[in-house]
Structure 1
């Protein structure tokens, strides 16, 4: 920041770190304004690939094999989101127990509810997409379930956001 100020023969009443934070905040605000008319519902992936909490791991593995997806949403009978299963979540029981031929392995008894992660990064369907970009870019969010009236209506992934940006 100091080098930039010097290049333009300027000085600041604040330190370079404060100026850097100010510019970063201005950049985030500019992104929000750029995509102001675009909502999460406009960008989200549909149709949804979902499963119920009692679905066996073999059914979830089949969903990943048959669809080009990053996660499977776990819902209750009314379509309310309970959690998410990422591909890594599906592999974790295998890694933890060793080879599947190990005697006594109970992986076939595991269900979606046993391996799903909480869906903490949900977003409302009408939220402007600019507010979500920061979460994906800086907070490491991989997927964000999109909710309308308590119901899961779509999923936003990094691929969805890259498609929007490019």
Structure 2
């Protein structure tokens, strides 16, 4: 899947001169957490609910009073920048200008990485520099909910043990955390059993998830021995 498959369109936008009161009304009326700021058909900024946390109207601009001693020691006072954010009356005053965008053909896997790395919640989608849509974290959740593989994770009694084992081994062998040298897998009446040894709890959890995602699996038993830190596997 790519950006154009999941993006929201048309996109609600404002311009830098839009009164901030109107921006807040838009957010509330459309039940969204942010809007793009456009000027001359170009995305020049974004306003999210995080940009409105510290406002003088509700007294949340006095953030410095509530910092811990450690924050006071390690963080610079933003001074005029914070003042503009807290008191500005227009979209251009409070918007974040560091906007990352993607192309309509950008894979959603790459978009997910950007969300995580940049700690953002929305990404404008462009084609030849022109706004086409907007992808939010909610759009990724909708794509997940609509996924056939996600919707069909319940047990299927018509799948035989041999088919389950074949599919499970194909999945396990595609990951570096799995090793046939130290673990064995058995399937009996839809119950997957792991025996052997494993170094990390996370390896057992990953193996459980791999099995649970196979149609026909009704239970997972992992009897593998967990080796402690610093112990070698012979």
User: How far, CA to CA, are the matches of 1:43 and 1:150 in structure 2?
Assistant: 19
Q: Are 1:48 and 2:11 counterparts?
A: yes
Task: Tell me: CA distance 1:151–1:108, structure 2 relative to 1, closer, same or farther (3 Å).
Answer: same
User: How far, CA to CA, are the matches of 1:122 and 1:151 in structure 2?
Assistant: 11
1:129 Cα deviation after fit: 1.5
Aligned residue number for residue 113 of structure 1 = 92
Task: Tell me: CA distance 1:91–1:133, structure 2 relative to 1, closer, same or farther (3 Å).
Answer: closer
Aligned residue number for residue 6 of structure 1 = none
Answer yes or no: is the 8 Å Cα contact 1:57–1:108 preserved in 2.
Answer: no
Answer yes or no: is the 8 Å Cα contact 2:19–2:91 preserved in 1.
Answer: yes
The 4+ residue runs of structure 1 with deviation greater than 6 A are none
Q: Are 1:88 and 2:50 counterparts?
A: yes
Partner-residue secondary structure (3-state), 2:134: strand
Q: What is the TM-score when the length of structure 1 is the normalising length?
A: 0.64
Unpaired runs of 5+ residues, structure 1, are 1-37, 99-105
Aligned residue number for residue 112 of structure 2 = 133
User: How far, CA to CA, are the matches of 1:115 and 1:109 in structure 2?
Assistant: 6
Q: Are 1:79 and 2:41 counterparts?
A: yes
User: How far, CA to CA, are the matches of 2:4 and 2:117 in structure 1?
Assistant: 22
Partner-residue secondary structure (3-state), 2:11: coil
Unpaired runs of 5+ residues, structure 2, are 64-83, 146-234
1:128 Cα deviation after fit: 1.7
Q: Which has the higher contact order (CA 8 A, sep 6+)?
A: 1
- Larger gyration radius, structure 1 or structure 2: 2
**Of 29, 32, 40, which aligns to 1:69?**
32
Q: What is the TM-score when the length of structure 2 is the normalising length?
A: 0.47
- Report how many residues are paired: 122
